[in-house]
Every structure is written in C-alpha cells, then in structure tokens.
Structure 1
C-alpha cells in the first residue's frame, strides 16, 4: 500500500469485480481468492452460484461492497444442459441417482409441450438442496442430515426457456437450453420438473450463468486473468453508471449531498446515481415525497478528493 494513500478511504480500488467462476468452487471460495489477489479483506459477493455452476458472479471491492445490497439483480440468464432419463437427489449430476428410465421415446414435440408449461409466470417448488431456510435451517443442510421436509411452491417468472440442441445416446436425451428468469428461479428445478412431466426423470448436467442484472460475461474475468491483472472490472463510478439510472447534479448540489443533505426530487423512480460535473458519483438517491435522499453516499465530504 502506498504511503501517501490513506488506508481508510475505501475509494482507491473500489468497484465491482465480475468473475467468471470456475466449476467446483463455492462463492465463498471465490471471495477468499479475490481477497488474496487484491490484498484486501473488503470483498463481498452479491448472491451465490452453485459449486457445479460456472459463469457470472458479482463481487464488490472496498467501498463498493456497500453497493451490493442496492443492485437490482432480479433477472438472470443461463446456458444449461438437461439430461432426460435420470432423476437425482439434488436435481443435478452431483446427487445420488434416484431413478433411471428409457427416454429414447421422448420426442422433440413432447419436450416442447412441457417446456411451454414451464415458461412464463409459474409456481415452482425449489430444489431441496437450496439455501432456503426451513425452521431456521438451510434446506441443503437438512438434506445432508437425512431430514424429511417439504418446500412450498413459490411464484417465479421464466421469461425464456428455449431448447437449442438435442442429443440422443443410449437411453438418455441431453438438451442444451437457454433460460432467462427472475431471481429465485432454480434451473435445476426446471430440469427436474421437465423430466417428471415427461415421465422419465431429469436432472442438470451443466450450468453456466451468462448474465446477472446488467452484468454479463463480457464484463467478466476468470480468477487466472484477475491474478495477471489485479483490478476491479468496473470502478465505483463505472459500476454506478452501469447499474443505476443517472441524474446530473451541480457542484453545489454535489457538495450538499456529500454532507448528508437532500435534493429536490426530479421524478426518477427507484434508486439512481447523482453524478457531479466531473463525472464522479456522489451518492445513490431515492425520491420520497419532496425529498431525494441518499441511500448511500458514495463520496461523503470527508472522502472527497481522496
């Protein structure tokens, strides 16, 4: 750390890190690696990604960790492979095989008909190895402990569920699919329900997240690439401009909001970024009544210029 840089500012190196996660790692594993690579403890993640899954994982670094809870990450996109003909305890390839059936008689038309019923606004029973809490305990922990429990169906939205390729071998059918869905949707559960409706069972053999909110694989780097160039994907100003609507403010307004005061509303819904004349983000604001108040001051007066 440079001697001239105050270690407590949180602005130097602050931003969002979009990682292209490798399979076999937990989200916590990724955070731990990034802390070592970036030489800071101030790294957190927005949501999780299953160990078997690869793809987009959003992390906050330094002061940008405070952004994570404000990001709108309600839509997600995945590329996945579903195997028809086998059901597993975890709805993916890592679980114990519960049943095997001959899926060779399943036609493309059969698949399309069921996929249509799993598209749109649906009720979905989450996978049993999810992080959903049951009586205060994570469902996946209860499964490992051999506990018997039921999860209630939840409303989710599957905006897109397209079969892009189909491969048949032995008694199995492997389907490559593209899914765009709301937060809280389990692609593993889609695989399970598709196989169950077809009477042959199904599970997920591959899962790659290609987008979370506005963040895509184009923003992402692998941990190996990060190690070669230890820096965030988007600095805190780029992150705010990417994730939120903007409101240009004057230098006087910037000074006011940096000191915790509020501005007059201008009719922008939701959370938005207040951008100073120099292009820096001063705060994230929300409008209520006659006030546009900060939900996060990105650059409080005590940190301006650091």
Structure 2
C-alpha cells in the first residue's frame, strides 16, 4: 500500500485547535506524517492547509502566503487576549460608544492599511527567549512584544454597525458595537491586533468575536473539506496530488526524465530562460499523473535542488 502523499484543504471547526485537526487527520489516513501551514486559534474557523507524507515539505512554502479573513469586531470593550477567548475587562464610556457609526469606522480603517508596524497580542504563540508568549502570560509574567512590519492590503467594513448590550463583571449593562470586516494581509498579521487597534483608534477599545480564514494564497475555503468528529467512521479523503499542490504554491519548471533523476541525486540541471534570484520554483515531470520532483533555486541558468521528493511508484 502506497503511503499517502499530498495536501489536504480542511475547514477547521470552532473550538478545535490546529493540533487537534492534525491528530484527526493522522487517524483518518492512518499515518503519522501530517503537518499544517499556519495555526488557527481554537476560536477561529476556516481554511487549514494540511500536508501529508513527503508533501509536508511543501508546508514551508505555504506558511508565508497572503491570507484572507472575515471577522466580527466588537467595539466598546477589550479583553486580555484581544478576542472572545477571555472575558471583557475594560469598557468604554457610553458617549464614546454612541459616537461609533459607519462613518467613524470607515474614517479609522485607512490608518490600519498598507505597510504598518503591528504589535502582536501578548497572548500569542510568538517565542520570547525560547518560550511562547502566551505561556509567559499565563505564568503571571508581563510580556511586551516588539512591533513588527506587516502588510494589510485590505481592511474594509462589510456590514452596518450593530448596537448590542453586554453585562460587565459588576453586573452593569454596557453598550458595544459589532461590525463585520474583511481583511487581506501578509503572513504574520494578527487580525485580533487589528481589532484592538481599531478600537484604540476610535477611543473605545476593541476585540475580536469571530474569525474565519477564507483564503491561503491560491487556495480557497470553497475547496475545503469538513473535519469529521473523532468518532465518525468516514472514508479517507482524496488528497490534492503533490505536483498540483506544489503548482498552487510556486511557479513550475518542467523537467525531463533525465533531469528529474539528476535533481533527485542532488545534481544541478540547466534552466535556461528561467529568471533567477527570485522565489524558488517546483520542478515537475509531466505525466499522468505529473511527478513532483523537487523545489529548486534557479541561478545563472542552473536549477539547484533545495528539497527533493520521492518518485511516484
């Protein structure tokens, strides 16, 4: 029996960690070699790109792809985690919240678009001196993360603001405003930090109450499969073939059978007419099915193997 090899596009359910999804796929496919490209918090839903078998080596090239999210931001209150995974701890004065309308939101959004410096949430998976920031926060440490450059190419309101009422820890009723947004951003952007910063820009606090990832590079949520419960007895899914999966991540360099053998032996091959110095490319031998040979770097008319994949059997 051939070991599974390819990519799987999954729609992560709310309440599941990305690690739990990987565990489910291991059980589903009967293999241990499974990984994912880009963690989604348990609160979030949406597209998780999963690699199986040798195709896990492709995940490195999926992690850095641009992404699209839809989200709901609650303005007027903040939480320690900048999302709904913790209880609101600060509320804005009623007059400030009352002033938040569509025009005010639209006026604040442009300053959070483009190439910006973003300070991630302290409760994040970023490592500080070898430990995750969230672990340090939970241990009672004060964590301050440095701002980092990200690109937010789209941050738009897609609904009219909705006025809601919530009860604070003292039992008082407080007004908040919910607004739905869509975000196109670079890898490493925290949408909950955008929610926090939008609230700060409006002077009313803010946090995320809903987050859904709908796109990773050229992969879309419409092509994703539902994740079955652990108890469900369902047939194994059909994986996205390695060559097709790789072509969705990188430009393709078509090679001959002899060149494929050379690359798998670690040798360089000619790559005339291919621009070098840019992003890596995938070497593919055409056939039925196409054979993913390697990820290569092209320089000075030659392609050098960076990552090699086993031949189809």
TM-score normalised over the length of structure 1: 0.90
Alignment partners' CA distance in 1, 2:286 and 2:114: 43
Q: CA deviation at 1:305?
A: 4.8
Relative to 1, partners in 2 of residues 1:187 and 1:305: Cα closer, same or farther, differing over 3 Å?
closer
In the alignment, what sits opposite 2:206? 202
Say whether 1:87 aligns with 2:71: no
Say whether 1:230 aligns with 2:224: no
2:40 pairs with one of 49, 62, 73: 49
Contact 1:15 1:234 in 2 (8 A): yes
Deviations 1:69-89 (A, max 9, x none): 233633111000000111110
- Say which SS state the counterpart of residue 79 (structure 1) adopts: strand
- Say which SS state the counterpart of residue 149 (structure 2) adopts: strand
Deviations 1:231-284 (A, max 9, x none): 244121211122221122222222322332211133243221222232322222
Q: CA deviation at 1:208?
A: 0.2
Q: CA deviation at 1:224?
A: 2.1
Say whether 1:162 aligns with 2:166: no
In the alignment, what sits opposite 1:273? 282
- Say which SS state the counterpart of residue 228 (structure 1) adopts: coil
Alignment partners' CA distance in 1, 2:265 and 2:133: 44
Contact 2:153 2:184 in 1 (8 A): yes
In the alignment, what sits opposite 2:116? 122
Deviations 1:123-152 (A, max 9, x none): 111011111122222111111112112111
Deviations 1:131-178 (A, max 9, x none): 112222211111111211211111111100010002123421110000
Alignment partners' CA distance in 2, 1:232 and 1:265: 33
RMSD: 1.8
Relative to 1, partners in 2 of residues 1:197 and 1:305: Cα closer, same or farther, differing over 3 Å?
closer
- Say which SS state the counterpart of residue 123 (structure 1) adopts: strand
Contact 1:263 1:292 in 2 (8 A): yes
Alignment partners' CA distance in 2, 1:294 and 1:45: 23
In the alignment, what sits opposite 1:243? 249
Alignment partners' CA distance in 1, 2:64 and 2:143: 29
Alignment partners' CA distance in 1, 2:107 and 2:235: 47
Alignment partners' CA distance in 1, 2:87 and 2:297: 48
| Total equivalences in the alignment | 293
Structure 2: tracts of 5 or more residues without a match: 166-174
